[in-house]
Amino acid sequence: MESVIFGALLIGIFSGCVPLIYGLNKNQLALALGGFFACIVSGFVLGALLAFPMAGLFFFFIRNNSKSTRND
């Protein structure tokens, strides 16, 4: 049981680093932290099947939000 929890945590942290680093580079702290913690929770729920798409979704949100902020 401990290995399942450790694996889910590891998958969540690994996938959550993508939106965290990208969001911090684009000065989107709220979305970066939200994506990181959403990936960790998703990792516990369905593992990589949900954590990786969640990272992609937050990457998309950060990219679109930083473009609209830059153009204004």
Chain segment 4-31, per-residue pLDDT in tens: 889 999 999 999 999 999 999 999 999 9
CA separation, residue 47 to residues 29, 58, 59 (Å): 24, 17, 18
Q: Helix H segments across the chain?
A: 2-25, 29-46, 48-71
pLDDT at 54: 95
Structure confidence at residue 2 as a pLDDT band (50, 70, 90): confident
Look at the pTM and tell me if it is higher than 0.95. Answer: no
pLDDT at 69: 60
pLDDT at 71: 54
47 secondary structure, DSSP code: T
Token digits of residue 46? 């369905």
